[in-house]
Structure 1
Amino acid sequence: MKVINVTTGEEILKELNIADTFVRRFMGLMGKKGLCPGFGLKIEPCSSIHTFNMRFAIDVLFVSEDHKVLEVLCAMTPGKVSSVVKGSRYVIEGNANELSDKVKIGDEIQIL
């Protein structure tokens, strides 16, 4: 799966993995050494995240049910907890400074 910013027409990620079970959502990117450029993780349902036991910083998009970006966290470092983002249905996590350069609040995204 890939992620497109419908608002700008730009490809955000070329490969997206899905974490939609309790265990996959809980584990997320914990323990991983990093992500390949252009790769990311969708966690659903999700309205808040943490970066405990992570080894690298990530960008985070909080997205509504109608695929509008509600919040963008840039370069969230390990050991942090995000605020709860009201209305968030899922999050997309990617390498630091990789998502935040391509998406802003209010943009619509599409997963193909």
Structure 2
Amino acid sequence: MMAKLMNTTTNQTLIADLEVASTFLSRGKGLLGRENLPSHQALWIHHCNSIHTFFMKFAIDCVFVDKNLKVRAIRKDVQPWRLILPVWGAASVIEMAAGTVSKVNVSVGDQLYVGA
């Protein structure tokens, strides 16, 4: 399923092509096996408050959100072979290409929205 990620706090579209990983298999695979992630794409992993980048080939930015899609934490430029410990209050994570968070100007406390 592809969707659009918007920041209702700043009234701006953050990601034009948001891929949703909601099944056990898609959540487990995440971005593994990909060579890169274009800046207009991201992966939203449901039921996830911590991530790892073991076996990944590129760095990512991670935006952890609560069940209402309010930004709880941001981790920028997470390199391969790293582990991000659980983020208190986070219900899911949106993984973007490294550098994307700074370009789209998203901050902790911002309210996000996923739509068509």
TM over 0.5: yes
Q: How far does residue 53 in structure 1 lie from its aligned partner after superposition? A: 0.9
Quote the Cα distance in structure 1 between the aligned partners of 2:7 and 2:13.
Answer: 6
TM-score by length of 1: 0.96
Among 68, 71, 89, the alignment partner of 1:69 is 71
RMSD: 0.9
TM-score by length of 2: 0.93
2:39 matches 1:37: yes
Q: Which runs of 4+ in 1 moved over 3 A?
A: none
For this pair of structures, how many residues does the alignment match?
112
Structure 2, gaps ≥5 residues long:
none
Quote the Cα distance in structure 2 between the aligned partners of 1:44 and 1:23.
Answer: 12
Quote the Cα distance in structure 2 between the aligned partners of 1:25 and 1:34.
Answer: 18
Structure 1, gaps ≥5 residues long:
none
SS in 1 for 2:26: helix
Q: Percent identity?
A: 37
Q: How far does residue 83 in structure 1 lie from its aligned partner after superposition? A: 1.5
Aligned to 2:7: 5
Q: How far does residue 87 in structure 1 lie from its aligned partner after superposition? A: 1.2
Higher helix share goes to which structure? 2
